[in-house]
Structures are given as C-alpha cells and as structure tokens.
C-alpha cells in the first residue's frame, strides 16, 4: 500500500464529510468553543497492516531452507507466507496477484526466488523484517513450468512449456546466452514434441550433468560443457517428478499410471526396477493394474539403515472416496498415512543441505489444501509434530469476531489454565523442526484477546498479545443440545441445514467474565466462568414466545390487549409468574395444524459434564409461532450486577433474569415509543401469509426472488408467555409428526450481523447466481443462510433491534439523578431509553421484580444504529457497570467476599448543567447528545453515498475516539465529543460479506478482519504502533554458519570418485555464451533493489537507506578486495619460491651447461 499523507486528505475532505459537521471547524484542528478540551490530533493516527495469522488461503507451492529452517508457502492469489519458530510469521504479496507456481530458497543467503503463473520470476530479500522484491524478470515468449537452483549456485535453471531451458543469473537477474533447446535434447529421430519441462536437477556428484525430465516420459542427462545429451531414458507413461540417489548413480521417476521406475544412469535402455506401490500384483506375472498418478516422489538415504522413499498419490482406482494419502516406504515396510484434505505438496526435511551427502531425513512437511502437517520420521508410527502456528482458525468457518485489547491481565492465564486441559495427545515429543528466525521484541506489552465464533457452534479464545496468535480455550456450545442421530434426521445437502448451532453474535464482559452467545437457531446461551468441574443434571431452559400480530387499525394498540389464540400477557414491568421449564416442551405440530410453541433445537435431557472453563448457566430459546419460525437474534447485551440479559430481533426485545431463570419483559418495538412519539411507525398493511425464505450468502452468494422474502410487519403487539412443561402436555398428544432441526433452518430470515448482509447485497448490487453455488467452497458455507432476504420496501417498513447499551444515566429530561437504564437502537435510526428499577440489596428476588419503564425516543439518526456509548463531563468513557468475577461453584463465603455491586457514584446533575454525553453512531451519521437535557450538541454526516459497517468507541493515546469502517473501504476516526475528522483512509473496499461480518475495532489503535476464509488480518490506525512496527515484527534471517561440505575421503580424492565441481561462470557468463535475446524477457527492478530504491525513496529516510546499502556494497567490495589481495599475495609467494628454486638450480652452472 502506497504511503499515505493524512494531512492532505484531511485538508481536502469530500463535501459529504467536511461540510457535514454541525459546528464549522477546520478538520483535524480543535474548535475554540469545545465543551471538552480534546487531546487527540491527526498526528496520532496512521493506518498500516501489522501481521496476518492463519493458514494460507488456497496454497499451491512450498519451499524450505534447511540451514535457516524457514518455510515459505505460495498461494493462488500471489501471496507469500513465511514461517519460522513460534511467533515468527511474515506475509507479503506479489502485485500481479498471479499464482505462485514454485519457490526456491537461496539456501542460507536470506533470499527467495518465486515463479508465478504469469511467467515472471522475482527475487525477494528476506534479510529485512518486511521482505521486498529486489529484481523481477518477465518472460514474453515462454511459459514457465519448472525452476531449479543448485545449492551454492547463482545460476537458476528455468524450464518452459516449449521444452526449452533458460538460465538466469540471480545476482543481476539477467538471462544467459546459454540455452538448452528441446530439439537438441531429445533424439533426432523423435517425431513428436516431448512436452513441457517437468523436472530439472543436476547430478549430486557431477554439477556438469543436468537431468531434464519432459512430460511425455523422456528423461535426458545433459552435459553442460559439451552441450549435448549423454543419455536418454524413455518410458511409456508421463512423468510427474524425478528424485536422485545421493551417489548420483541412480534416479527414480514417478509416473501417471502409479508406477515408480528406477534407472541406472549408464543403462538407459530399460529401467533397473519398476514397482507399483499400491497396485495389486497378479499371480500370473502380468503387469499390475494401473493406479492413480504418483504426483511426487522423494528418495532420501541414511547412513545407518535403509533409504526412505516418500510419495503422494498412486492409490488404486478402486479406492473411491478414500482420503488423500502420503506413503512412506522404508526398507520392507510401507506406511500409508491418511490426510484430512487433498495434498498440495510435500517436502522431506534432511540434516544436510548438500545433495551429495547422506540425506538423513527426519521429518516430512505436508502442505494440504487447508492444513499444514509435519510428520516425524524418527519415531515409530510416524506421529505428527504439534504446530505452534494458529493454523486452525478455519477448523469451522468463522461467523463472527470480537477483539479486546488492553483487557484485564489475569484473563489470559485463567483461560490458558482451563484450555491446556483440552490439548490433544499423541504428538511427537520432539521440538517443532521449522524453528528459524527471531521473535520480535516490541514495547507493546498489554494483553489482547480475540474471540471467534464458528459455524459448528464453537467459540475460540485467542491470545493476540505482541502480534502473536495462540489459542487459549475452545468452547463447544452445541454440547447443550441433542444431536440428530437417525437417518431421517440427517441434514440434506442444502448448506442451510448443516449449521444449526452457528454463532450469530456474542457479548463478552472481560471483567465479570460473563459470556452470552446468540445462535442462528434463535437461541441464547448464558455462560459463567468456573475453575471447577461440575455435572449439570438438567440444563436450565427458558422458552420465549416473541410474536408480531397484525391488525388493520390505524395505530398500534399499546394497551396490552390479547389475541384470542394467545394466553394473557403480563404487564411489561412485572416478571412472569410461571416457572421456566427444565426441558424442551412440546408444541402443536400435527399434519393438519401449524407448528407452534416449538424451539428450533432440542436441549439435551441427559446430565451434562462441564469441564473447568465456561459452563452453561441458562439456555433461552425462541419458539415457533403459528407455523412461523422465530426470527434470528440481532443484538444482545448483559448487565452482570443485575443479572440481566437483553436480546432483540425484528419482533421486539426480551429481558431475562439469568440468575432467577425468569423472563422479565417481552415487548414489541412499538411499545418502546411513547404514544405521542413522532417517530412511531404506523401500520400500513394487513398481515400477509409468510413465505419460506432461504438465506443469502456473502455478498456474492445469490439473491432471493419475491417468493423467498420474509414478511414485513409494520406494527406489532406482543404476546408474552413462558411455556412450561405442564402447559404443553395436552399438545404433546396431538402431535403426529416430530419436528427435526433441519426444518427450521430453511425458514430463517437473518438480520445480522445478518441485517448487514441484506444491506450490502441491495446497496452494492453484488449478487451471486445459482450457477455458482459455492465460489469459496465450504469455508463460506455458513454465510449462505446468515443474511436477510428482506427487500428494501420490507426493510423500510420493518424496524429491527440493532443494538443495546446498559448504562447509568438520565432516562428522562426531568431527571436530576442518574439511574440504571437501557439504550435501545433500531435499524430505523431511533435511539430509545428504558428506565430500570432495580431492587435494593445485593440480590433481587422474584418478589422484588426489576421493572422497566419506556421513556420514548432519545434521538433519531439516519440509518440503523450501530453503536452507543456514554462519556462523562470530561470526555472520559463511562463503561457499563459490571460485577467482579467470582467462581459460581465456590463456597458461599468466597462468593460473598467478591460479589458486591459496583457503587453508582457519578454526580447528580445540577440545574441547567449537562454532566454526560451520549455518543450515537448509525450507518450514515454520528451524533453527540448532552444528558439529561437531551440536546444534540454535535453532528457529523459520515457518508452519503455508502454506509458504515462497523463503528466502535475506542481508547486511543489516553483519550477516546469513534472509529468507523465504511462499505466503500474508508476507515475513519472522529474525535469525541466534538466529532472532528482525524483520519480518513480509503483502505479496503468491501468485496466480501466476510469482511463486513468480522471487521472490528479495539482499543489502542488495533483492528482486525477475516481477509480470507482461513486468515485474520490485523491492522493498526495508531501512529505510535506504526513507528514501532519494525521493532515488533519478527526477523526471518539470522546469521548461521553453513555446514561443512561432506568429506570426500582419501581414495575418492585420489581416484576422482567425489563430487565434481563446475565453474558455471565460464559456461553461462556473457564472455562464453554471449547475450540473450532482449525480446525473450524483460528485467524489472524491484522496490527493494538499488534502482527501485532510487526511484521510490526521497528525503532523509531515502538518503539513509541509500547510504546503508552503499555501505553494505562497499563492505562487500572491500571483502572481495581482501580476498583478491590474499590471492595475489599467495601467488607472489609461490612465484618467489619458484624463482628461488630456479636460481639455486642454475647458480653454479656455466652458460654452456644450460
């Protein structure tokens, strides 16, 4: 990303942004009449990427440096991911975005060569923390198919689709005039083209002999000096790979019919051996049945025992449906190792980088489509190593993310202690073999936690401190539900049916450690954190009936009138008298009547063993109403001091006391408005029959027709009921058909995180046709049912709860004392307040109910409400009150020591003076409202043409600001409370719903999003973090001595049996081979080279960089000069000795004796 000058942008903000602030002030500068003295300035902000975590998405190539012990992985999108020891990760990207077809390390040189599908090769400098391209070479007339760089050589062999081989000097990235043409390599009598080059390697014992493999099955041993073929080896089947024996006398080829052929280099007539590792051997001696192609083979020798032969593919064709396998052949034993995903590539790790020595293999790195596995060859059974990288983010597709920076320091040790008991057993006892590089030593020391929710209902807690990512703890929410076991209950192929437990949204309070999770099956689960194991005999269940009924009257009836088919509803201010059921209640589900009073999932009836960690406190499920499924939950919040959880959807909101296990409130959105409220929605249409609605996917996952829309109620009246076991017994007998979980999912209409999907799909007009049902594969499967299919007309008429905020403020204008209240935001831009009346004392009882009183609309904004917060008179954030954490399974005495509510001690409001500021942000604008006067003192129109996807009030440089991410890609920050623009960067245009669903801001200038189905990208908008980024990043290259070359031995040295060296400079240099054709390839200086640096760098930084490079070059030249001087001195000394010997020999002889 090119360098960004924030001052220029802020000086010339767009009209939609600069002219929208209600108070006229220069952007980025403080206003003179500010209510609060603000300290944040534009200089505090800068946007840059920090680190990328997770498994490389769509990998296609791999390389390993055996001395530096660094692994490189290339992807189909042109990305490079480099891995070393724990915490050593690096990401870089080719600008073209073409697939990386091959990678080659300059072993122990701190450099890497990448070959791309667009026929370009690039040289990367890995000696800097952020790798850069030094040189590039773009071929114009040849398609690159294979590359080979011999150890300690500067000449790179490049094979092409035409069958030719070109040679590149990797120091200057220039082509040599030496070319091996295909027609000279093959037999002159051959009438067909041999096909592309699929293999190049030099003989381990003779660098002057080059082995060239062509796709058709022909292998040529080429003599580089004489420029002709020594031997040609032909086989009927196509070749996929070739591997040498370290002595250079034999090589092995893998073929498309599942055979391995072993050749002696001096016997080209026929193979010395032909084997089919997985073929059935006929008894009559006939040729084995053909098998699948062996895509790659490696042949590695050991000093003490039999050699290893490792291969991928080659299975019999009758093994239909069998998973991909890696075969390890060692002596007479053959081990077939099944993999979870298809194999992309594998590499055998060896003790020595020298191909002419015994290889001594110790591990195999297997790159799979969605995983990286390292197998220990030194232990019986070939166990795998435990990976230190966070490669399992996508174990189940990520559906939501939350990011907590600067959280309480005791949280990470607590989560680690309970998570360490979940680790798998059976790993290799050895250390992880990819151990290169050094972990960055930054000044960033505050704890960070990332929480990811997944499609299978699991939740993962990650330690994200110090640019690392390590899983701490995994919670499986699906354990509280019964699983479908019978064939008739199995989900069909529709992807909507596959994820009934998927996490829709979650709320986590780090201080009280309360966790509340909402799933797509309209369920809410409340968890408490405990360090003790318990067995819950009966999972506590509360069923809630949230319903919208329609009438054709002109205004909604707020008087609590009941519908004839529903039981009487309690007043909003009183709790329900019925006790919650302890197990799933049955409902009407006969073939003649509609499904009613049935939840989408069945809570387990057997005892639940709960390990230390998060343990279920209560399950709340919304039930079907008159044949219609419950609407998905769009927002939720927890207030731990009062033991309340509130959640809402398109039907209204419900408040549950999770300590008393009772429903306190169940009301429609219309009931939140006061009767005289001008914003109250009036009904405009009678109730329409509901059509089943399939879900949309990501922004490119398809669109719904009119028959698939959700219904669009315009006015509502709630019927409040808690179903109990006793009430539903008669209905159980009437049911003749059992409902299965899959039935519910087809009718879900999500307004996310789901309302976001519908908004983006309609506003950006990004659709996906049915002919492309799964563009991103299973990774995006979840998103196909997570968005709303509500059309624009329906959405305008339907108001949905979009956010909640518990606080202690002034619910009414007339209030002079603060009191607990709840702010409710809707998709129509209304922010309403509800006053909470909490009973005195530490615990509230059912006899002392919590009462709610709606106080009407606080303010109205354009677009749906995204976030709400409260500041005090000094501009400091007032966080929601919380209860300090205590172990729910501890003794009562220990509980009482900790369990005290935080005292509410903000000052009362003096007459005519506002003591609080409510910060409200919607999809279009932000407002700051003074409390208790409820006057809007600041307003800022964030965007006119786009809409905000995520907004958060975050701490930054000792102050607070509002951070926003828009669908048009802009990331913005606004000062608080004056809403001055401080940062506006066009960073990331929205191309996928995944980004919108997972983008989140955190404190201290941190943010993240899922950049692919398998990777998390972390970014920072803090100038301080950007300045310290170099210190925080890990180092890939560390100075390591290259191992000594193998000893040739006395007899090999005497009789010439050792490895033969070759002066390639004499063969490939311009003097010997001439210049290559200029039209064949174009040299492009990279930004990391001197030419690129001269063009890109400017100012003092550029001068310093150039000076540093010049010093390095000068030091290198001085080193070369020292070597030349030493050589000249040795030569002079030798000449002096020779002259002295001549003088002594002829000293006393006469001239005629000579």
DSSP for 265-325, please give it: TT--SS-SEEE-TTS---TTSPPPPPBS-EEEEEEE--SSSPPEEEEEE--BTT-TTPPPE
Compute CA distances 748 → 313, 500, 518, 688, 696, whole Å. 43, 11, 14, 17, 10
Q: Return the H-helix or E-strand segment holding 357.
A: none
Specify which residues 194 forms β-bridges with: none
DSSP 575-612: --SSPPPSSPPP-B--SSS--BS-BSSPBP-S-EEE-S
Provide the whole-model pTM.
Answer: 0.80
What's residue 323's pLDDT?
A: 86
Give the pLDDT confidence of 267-321 residue by residue, as tens digits: 999 999 999 999 887 776 677 788 999 999 999 999 988 999 999 999 988 766 7
User: Which of the 8 DSSP states describes residue 805?
Assistant: E
Return the closest-CA partner of residue 645 out of 232, 971, 654, 1033.
654
Alpha-carbon 238 to chain mean position? 38
Beta carbons of 881 and 940 less than 8 angstroms apart: no
What's residue 850's pLDDT?
A: 76
Alpha-carbon distance 836 to 839, whole Å?
Answer: 10
Q: Please give the biggest Cα pair distance in the chain.
A: 142
Strands (E), 827-902: 830-837, 851-860, 865-872
What's residue 1131's pLDDT?
A: 79
Specify which residues 202 forms β-bridges with: 210
Return the closest-CA partner of residue 272 out of 251, 288, 297.
251
> Residue 1035 in 3-state DSSP?
strand
Alpha-carbon 266 to chain mean position? 52
Alpha-carbon distance 811 to 834, whole Å?
Answer: 7
What's residue 295's pLDDT?
A: 95
User: Which of the 8 DSSP states describes residue 435?
Assistant: -
Instruction: Print burial letters for 616-648: b (CB count within 10 Å at least 16), e (below 16).
Output: bbbbbbbbbbbebbbbbbbbbbbbbbbbbbbbb
| The pairing of beta strand 372-376 with beta strand 294-300 | unpaired
Alpha-carbon distance 152 to 1036, whole Å?
Answer: 20
Ranges of the chain with pLDDT below 70? 1-35, 284-285, 319-320, 442-444, 484-497, 548-593, 675-797, 840-849, 892-912, 1048-1061, 1071-1072, 1088-1117, 1119, 1148-1154
Beta carbons of 353 and 1043 less than 8 angstroms apart: yes
Alpha-carbon 794 to chain mean position? 34
Alpha-carbon distance 375 to 389, whole Å?
Answer: 16
Give the pLDDT confidence of 750-780 residue by residue, as tens digits: 333 444 444 443 344 333 333 343 333 334 4
DSSP 741-758: HHHHHTT----BTHHHHH
Alpha-carbon 120 to chain mean position? 28
Strand order in the sheet with 343-350: 343-350, 361-368, 372-376
Alpha-carbon distance 892 to 472, whole Å?
Answer: 29
**C-alpha Rg value of the chain to the nearest Å:** 35
User: Which of the 8 DSSP states describes residue 792?
Assistant: H
Kindly state the tokens that stand for 12.
């010339």
Which positions ≥6 away from 1043 have C-beta within 8 Å?
67, 352, 353, 354
> Residue 549 in 3-state DSSP?
coil
Q: Could you tell me how many residues make up the chain?
A: 1154
**Residue in the structure block whose two tokens are 């306190």:** 664
């Amino acid at each position: 990303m090119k360098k960004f000058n924030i001052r220029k942008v802020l000086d010339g903000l767009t009209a939609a942004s600069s002219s929208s602030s209600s108070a006229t002030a220069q952007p980025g500068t403080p206003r003179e009449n500010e209510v609060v003295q603000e300290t944040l300035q534009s200089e505090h902000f800068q946007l840059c990427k920090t680190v990328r975590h997770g498994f490389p998405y769509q990998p296609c190539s791999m390389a390993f440096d055996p001395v530096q012990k660094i692994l490189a992985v290339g992807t189909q999108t042109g990305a490079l991911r480099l891995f070393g020891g724990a915490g050593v990760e690096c990401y870089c990207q080719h600008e073209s975005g073409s697939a990386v077809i091959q990678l080659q390390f300059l072993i122990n040189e701190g450099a890497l060569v990448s070959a791309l599908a667009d026929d370009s090769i690039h040289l990367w400098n890995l000696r800097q923390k952020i790798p850069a391209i030094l040189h590039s070479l773009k071929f114009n007339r040849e398609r690159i198919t294979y590359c080979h760089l011999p150890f300690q050589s500067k000449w790179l062999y490049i094979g092409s689709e035409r069958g030719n081989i070109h040679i590149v000097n990797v120091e200057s990235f220039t082509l040599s005039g030496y070319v091996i043409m295909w027609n000279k390599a093959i037999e002159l009598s051959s009438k067909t083209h041999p096909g592309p080059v699929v293999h190049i390697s030099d003989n381990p014992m003779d660098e002057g002999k080059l082995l060239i493999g062509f796709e058709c099955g022909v292998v040529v041993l080429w003599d580089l000096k004489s420029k002709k073929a020594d031997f040609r080896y032909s086989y009927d089947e196509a070749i996929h790979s070739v591997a040498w024996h370290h002595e250079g006398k034999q090589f092995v080829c893998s073929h498309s019919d599942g055979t391995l052929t072993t050749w002696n280099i001096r016997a080209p007539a026929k193979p010395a051996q032909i084997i089919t590792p997985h073929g059935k051997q006929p008894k009559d001696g006939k040729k084995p049945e053909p098998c699948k192609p062996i895509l790659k083979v490696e042949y590695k020798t050991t000093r003490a025992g039999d050699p290893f032969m490792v291969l991928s593919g080659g299975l019999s064709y009758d093994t239909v449906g069998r998973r991909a396998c890696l075969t390890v052949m060692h002596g007479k034993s053959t081990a077939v190792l099944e993999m979870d995903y298809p194999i992309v590539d594998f590499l055998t790790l060896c003790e020595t980088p020298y191909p002419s020595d015994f290889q001594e293999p110790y591990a195999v790195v297997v790159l799979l489509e969605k995983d990286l596995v390292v197998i220990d060859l030194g232990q019986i059974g070939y166990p795998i190593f435990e990976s230190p990288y966070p490669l399992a983010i996508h174990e189940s597709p990520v559906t939501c993310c939350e990011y907590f920076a600067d959280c309480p320091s005791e949280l990470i040790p607590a989560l680690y202690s309970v998570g360490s008991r979940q680790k798998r057993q059976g790993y290799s006892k050895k250390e992880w073999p990819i151990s290169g590089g050094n972990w960055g030593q930054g000044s960033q020391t505050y704890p960070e936690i990332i929480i990811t929710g997944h499609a299978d209902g699991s939740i993962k807690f990650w330690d994200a401190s110090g640019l690392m990512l390590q899983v701490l703890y995994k919670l499986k929410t699906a354990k509280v539900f019964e699983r479908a076991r019978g064939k008739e209950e199995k989900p069909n192929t529709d992807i909507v049916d596959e994820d009934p437990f998927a996490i829709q949204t979650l709320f986590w309070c780090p201080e009280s450690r309360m966790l509340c999770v909402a799933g797509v099956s309209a369920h809410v689960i409340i968890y408490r954190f405990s360090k003790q194991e318990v067995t819950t005999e009966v999972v506590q269940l509360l069923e809630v009936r949230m319903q919208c009924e329609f009438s054709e009257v002109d205004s909604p009836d707020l008087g609590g009138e009941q519908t004839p088919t529903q039981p009487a509803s309690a007043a909003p201010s009183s709790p329900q008298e019925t006790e919650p059921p302890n197990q799933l209640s049955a409902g009407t589900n006969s073939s003649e009547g509609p499904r009613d009073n049935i939840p989408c999932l069945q809570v387990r009836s057997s005892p639940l063993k709960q390990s230390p960690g998060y343990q279920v406190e209560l399950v709340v499920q919304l039930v079907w109403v008159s044949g219609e499924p419950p609407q998905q939950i769009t927002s939720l919040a927890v207030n731990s001091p009062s033991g309340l959880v509130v959640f809402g959807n398109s039907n209204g909101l419900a408040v549950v006391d999770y300590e008393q296990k009772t429903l306190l409130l169940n009301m429609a959105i219309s009931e939140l408005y006061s009767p005289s409220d001008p914003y109250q929605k009036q009904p405009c249409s009678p109730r329409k029959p509901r059509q089943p609605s399939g879900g949309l996917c990501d922004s490119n996952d398809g669109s719904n027709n009119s028959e698939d829309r959700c219904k669009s109620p315009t006015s509502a009246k709630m019927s409040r009921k808690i179903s109990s076991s006793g009430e539903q017994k008669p209905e159980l007998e009437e049911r003749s058909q059992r409902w299965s979980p899959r039935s519910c999912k087809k009718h879900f209409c999500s307004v996310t995180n789901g309302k976001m999907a519908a908004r983006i799909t309609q506003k950006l007009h990004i659709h996906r046709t049915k002919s492309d049902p799964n563009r991103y594969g299973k990774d995006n499967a979840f998103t196909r049912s997570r968005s709303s299919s509500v059309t624009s007309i329906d959405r305008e008429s339907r108001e949905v709860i979009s956010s909640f905020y518990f606080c202690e403020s002034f619910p009414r204008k007339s209030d002079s004392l603060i009191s607990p209240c709840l702010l409710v935001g809707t998709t129509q831009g209304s922010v309403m307040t509800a006053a909470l009346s909490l009973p005195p004392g530490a615990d509230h009882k059912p006899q002392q109910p919590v009462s709610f009183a709606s106080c009407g609309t606080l303010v109205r904004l354009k677009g749906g409400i995204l976030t709400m917060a409260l500041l005090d008179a000094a501009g400091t954030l007032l966080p929601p009150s919380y209860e300090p954490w205590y172990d729910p399974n501890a003794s009562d005495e220990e509980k009482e020591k900790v369990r005290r509510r935080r005292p509410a001690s903000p000052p009362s409001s003096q007459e005519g003076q506002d003591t609080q500021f409510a910060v409200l942000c919607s999809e279009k604008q932000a407002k700051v409202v003074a409390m208790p006067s409820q006057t809007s003192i600041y307003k800022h129109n964030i965007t006119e043409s786009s809409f905000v996807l995520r907004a958060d009030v975050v701490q930054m440089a000792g102050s607070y600001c509002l951070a926003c991410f828009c669908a048009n890609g802009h990331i913005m920050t606004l000062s608080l409370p004056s809403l001055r623009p401080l940062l506006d960067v066009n960073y990331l245009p929205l191309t996928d719903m995944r980004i919108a669903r997972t983008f989140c801001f955190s404190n201290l200038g941190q943010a993240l999003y899922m950049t692919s189905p398998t990777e998390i990208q972390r970014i920072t908008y803090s100038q301080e973090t950007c300045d310290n980024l170099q210190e925080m990043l890990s180092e890939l290259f560390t100075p390591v001595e290259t191992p000594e070359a193998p000893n040739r031995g006395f007899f090999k040295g005497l009789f010439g049996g050792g490895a033969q060296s070759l002066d390639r400079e004499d063969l490939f240099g311009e003097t010997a081979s001439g210049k290559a054709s200029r039209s064949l390839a174009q040299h492009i200086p990279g930004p990391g080279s001197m030419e690129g640096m001269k063009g890109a760098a400017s100012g003092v930084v550029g001068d310093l960089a150039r000076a540093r490079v010049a010093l390095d070059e000068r030091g290198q030249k001085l080193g070369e000069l020292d070597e030349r001087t030493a050589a000249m001195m040795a030569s002079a000394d030798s000449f002096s000795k020779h002259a002295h010997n001549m003088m002594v020999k002829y000293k006393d002889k006469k001239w005629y004796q000579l």
